[in-house]
Amino acid sequence: MRTRCILTLAGGILLAQCASRAPETKPAYSSPVPYQSYTCAQLGQEAAALTEKSAELSAGRQQNRIKWSMPFLGGDVQATNTRLDQIEGQLGAIEQVRKQKACR
């Protein structure tokens, strides 16, 4: 019984070591032009909404971390990473416009 418990624990540790890390995201280019007509308040609201969406996607990605090492379990990691890249690009474009408009 004790041997079985030790083997189960060792197997779990080995499986955890084999799980790959989440791929890092790189911001996709997003033009600041669509945000030029926004007011400072609207820019802040848009940035907050995108940040919230990014946090939701990142949290979901963390919860499903084991799926990266076992794709047959499901989950569309590439689509999530692409969307996170897009959001980061949009946040960069918003920040650029906020600086141009001297928003606080």
pLDDT at 86: 95
pLDDT per residue as tens digits for the range 8-47? 544 444 444 444 444 566 889 999 999 999 999 999 999 9
pLDDT at 104: 84
The DSSP code sequence of the chain is -HHHHHHHHHHHHHHHHHPPPPPPP-PPP--SGGGTT--HHHHHHHHHHHHHHHHHHHHHHHHTGGGGT-GGG---HHHHHHHHHHHHHHHHHHHHHHHHTT--
pLDDT per residue as tens digits for the range 46-92? 999 999 999 988 887 766 655 555 555 555 677 888 899 999 999 99
b/e for 13-27, b at 16 or more Cβ within 10 A? Answer: eeeeeeeeebeebee
pLDDT at 3: 56
Query: Can you read off the two tokens belonging to residue 102?
Result: 């001297």
pTM for this model (two decimals): 0.67
Greater model confidence, 98 or 27: 98
